[in-house]
Structure 1
Amino acid sequence: MNQPHVPALPVFPINSFDAQRIEDAFALMGPKWTTWSVMTLAQEGRPMRIRDIAAKLPFVSEQVLGLRLAAMQTGGLVTRTDPRHGAPYQLSALGESLTHVHRPLADWSRIYLAADATAEAEHVEDAVRRLRPRHSTALIQVLADSGPMRFGHIAEGIGRADAFTRQRLLRLQADGLVTRTGPQHGAPYMLTDAGQALGPVYAAVEHWSAPLAAQRVLPPPASVAMPQRIHLGIPLESDGARTAAARRRSAAVPSALFSHAPQPQPQVPASATAPSAPGRVR
């Protein structure tokens, strides 16, 4: 009996992407509240003043949103309808196209790492937070190409000093992207299932960044100064407060806001990954 033809899923080798281009894109989309602002403007489909966006996001102050939108305008994600003070913001073509990146980021986060996040934007911000640190992409690519690898070989592979490589490995372990093959001292490192499944994410990000690469547009060299606290008393850049913030958001924002049905993502065969807690990395 003939079996029905099943089309092959696209293959995205992790080491086939431009690591610097991907990191530049993450730096642009990564600052906190960027995703929430983009999704609000996309959902409303109209120019909006800061106070109108703040009304949709009651857990963020107008002052914080104003600073974030100003930085997004510098980065090319939003424009203003005219140069007058207080003029509404709207998404640029680049900002509108971010919706094609948000879906694979959110699906990857939901499937592999943060199933308890309460909103679509929270999934996206969680994913970008894990993937954004400098040279993380290069390290992940080295492990995808040659792993499992010992610490010294990883440092050589990414061309970074031991201290930097140690710090980055600890961060990637804590974020669930890298593990060790065993508990013994000096055991090689390898990608977790989440790390191995990054191909579709990198493909979407690199495709989105094509206009940036063509125009040589890079993220601003310095972040905009931001207040340290928002209305709910949550530190603006504190990762530890994300869970508490998410639970507050679920009460403040309708459950359908920024949500969609999960989409299947090309799966990577599960590997025998031993649980690893960040510790000594040599």
Structure 2
Amino acid sequence: MPTTVQPSVTSIGSVDAQRVEGALSLIAPKWTTWSAQTLAQQGRPMRVCDVAARLPFVSEQFIGKRLAQMHSDGLVTRAHDRHGAPYQLSASGESLSRVHRALSDWSQTNLSLGQVAGAERVEDAVRRLHLRHSTAVIQVLDAGGPMRFVHIAEEAGLDNSFTRQRLNRLQTDGLVARTGPRHGDPYVLTDAGRALGPVYAAVEHWSNPVAAREHSAPPVPVASATRTHTGVSLASDGIRTTAALCRSTAAPSALFSHAPQPQPRVPAAVTAQSASSRGR
């Protein structure tokens, strides 16, 4: 029986948790995936108003802010910084197709979301995974569960209060479960949590500068160096970072297999909750 994937590729414990969470934080803000997939679907530079016209459930002003942040993070480029200049995906933005596909496949297999658009499914998956130290907690449970929360905290190097808070969130998101009803009962990963290996592998590969240099085409240059609040520096040779995103494999826009059109209309209540902050 042929085996084409090495265990380390899909092992939860083999990935760099800090790198994975840093990369996820760049695509976690609401409407980032929608914007990226719209640009990929069209396959050409687009002005803010053009992107917004294809996402009628989001205001043009908000799309402008999101694209500006994506530009700072190296996901999109533009020929110049004049008002109204069009955006297009950078090599790093194009290579998000693998990450989007891994997130969507994991979600479809493990989560019951009903009928939702592909981009919304991806953004929901990122929301469950990007919070700080979530990956470390999942890695600890993958390696040694079932475990009580004090042991999880010790293994992950976190204080008890934060660990309990993170475990509660992971329970809510369906990634972790408690083995019994009592307060001190151990925690284990759910099937969805145990299935995260391919997702983490895709995200880490996307963020890995070594893999990028070995496999990618020349990157789309960024005009000038910029620093974002995440500590990611952008320069002409691509994104550089100490703990999060660098460049990765360039992929044709056609590989975005979960384009945002057609899509169900997003409820007004959801749109009203959207904000320009980095988190959710």
The size of the alignment, in residue pairs, is 227
**Amino acid aligned to 2:274:** L
Q: Structure 1 residue runs of 4+, over 6 Å off? A: 212-215
CA change 1:198–1:181 in 2 (3 A) is: same
Is contact 2:33-2:119 (8 Å) kept?
A: yes
Question: Is the Cα–Cα contact under 8 Å of residues 61 and 231 in structure 1 kept in the other structure?
Answer: no
Which residue does the alignment assign to 2:40? 42
Please name the residue that 2:71 is paired with.
Answer: 73
Given residue 44 of structure 1, which amino acid in structure 2 is its aligned partner? Q
**CA offset at residue 219 of structure 1?**
5.9
**Correspondences of 1:75-154 after superposition (within 5 Å):** 75-154=73-152
**What's the secondary structure of 2:57's corresponding residue?**
coil
What is the one-letter code of the residue matched to 1:221? T
| Contact 1:28–1:219 under 8 Å retained in 2 | no
For residue 211 of structure 1, report the CA deviation from its aligned partner.
Answer: 3.0
Q: Is the 8 A contact 1:74 1:220 kept in 2?
A: no
Distance apart, 1:114 and its partner CA:
3.6
| Backbone CA RMSD of aligned residues | 2.6
The residue number in structure 2 matching 1:232 is 268
Q: Please give the alpha-carbon distance, in whole angstroms, between the structure 1 residues aligned to 2:203 and 2:3.
A: 24
Report whether the alignment pairs 1:221 with 2:219: no
- Deviation of the 1:143 alpha carbon: 0.3
Distance 1:80 1:165, change over 3 A: same
Equivalent position of 1:186 in the other structure? 184
- Rounded to whole Å, the distance in 1 between the matches of 2:185 and 2:53 is 51
**Distance across 2 between alignment mates of 1:117 and 1:75:** 31
Alpha-carbon shift at residue 148 of structure 1 (Å): 0.5
Report the Cα offset of residue 54 of structure 1: 0.6
1:210 equivalent in alignment to 2:248 = no
Give the deviation of 1:200 after TM superposition.
Answer: 0.3
User: For 2:119, what is the secondary structure of its paired residue?
Assistant: helix
State the Cα deviation string for residues 226-279 of structure 1 (Å, max 9, x = none). Answer: xxxx99352115xxxx9xxxxxxxxxxxxxxxxxxxxxxxxxxxxxxxxxxxxx
SS in structure 1 of the partner of residue 21 of structure 2: helix
CA shift, 1:90, in A, is 0.3
Greater Rg by CA: 1
Maintained 8 Å contact 2:206/2:212: no
Give the letter for the 1:194 counterpart. A
Matched-pair identity in %: 62
Contact 2:77 2:89 in 1 (8 A): yes
> Please, what TM-score do these two structures have when normalized by structure 1?
0.75
SS at match of 2:188: strand
Consecutive unaligned residues in structure 1, runs of 5 or more = 223-229, 243-282
Kept in 2: contact 1:97–1:208 (CA 8 A): yes
Question: 1:145 is aligned with what amino acid?
Answer: A
Q: Residue type of the partner of 2:153?
A: A
Q: Which residue of 1 aligns with 2:256?
A: none
CA distance in 1, matches of 2:115, 2:129: 17
Counterparts of 1:219 and 1:142 in 2: how far apart (Å)? 31
Give me the whole-angstrom Cα distance separating, in 2, the residues matched to 1:236 and 1:130. Answer: 16
Shift in CA distance, 40/213, structure 1 to aligned 2, threshold 3 Å: same
